[in-house]
């Protein structure tokens, strides 16, 4: 991994840690749609970072992480906000780190 990618990865992992801390006490209400988006964004980032070959770094920084909501919640307002955040998090992580590990 190049030094640039290492620095970017560190920043992304810190952002994910911050988003997880901010969204630690989510409740299933429409009043928290921004928080659900933020949690989805963090989960999307982590999924993409892991898929790019950095699962070890994710585990070291965050421990075990999985998607926050189940299929049955995807059509609810907070599920839609979460899913949108997830997709944007994945996409923007690719834009920052690229498609391949390196």
From residue 30, alpha-carbon distances to 7, 43, 80, 87, 101 in Å are 36, 19, 11, 20, 37
- Residue 88 burial by Cβ neighbours in a 10 Å radius (0-12, 13-18, 19+): middle
Q: What is the pLDDT of residues 8-67, one digit of tens each?
A: 999 999 999 999 999 988 877 778 899 999 999 999 999 999 999 999 999 999 988 776
What sign results for the dihedral spanned by CA atoms 25, 21, 66, 89? positive
For position 30, what pLDDT does the model report? Answer: 76
Q: 46-50, 85-89, 94-98: lowest mean pLDDT where?
A: 94-98
Distance CA 45, CA 61 (A): 13
For position 102, what pLDDT does the model report? Answer: 45
Higher-confidence position of 67 and 95: 95
Say whether pTM exceeds 0.85: yes
Distance CA 51, CA 98 (A): 12
Neighbours of 39 (CB within 10 A): 26
């Amino acid at each position: 991994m190049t030094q640039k990618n290492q620095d970017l990865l560190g920043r992304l992992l810190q952002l994910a840690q911050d988003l997880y801390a901010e969204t630690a006490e989510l409740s299933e209400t429409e009043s928290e749609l921004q928080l659900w988006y933020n949690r989805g964004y963090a989960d999307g980032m982590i999924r993409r970072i892991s898929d790019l070959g950095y699962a070890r770094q994710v585990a070291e920084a965050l421990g075990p992480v999985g998607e926050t909501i189940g299929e049955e919640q995807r059509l609810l307002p907070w599920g839609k906000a979460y899913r949108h955040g997830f997709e944007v998090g994945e996409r923007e992580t690719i834009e920052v780190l690229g498609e391949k590990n390196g």
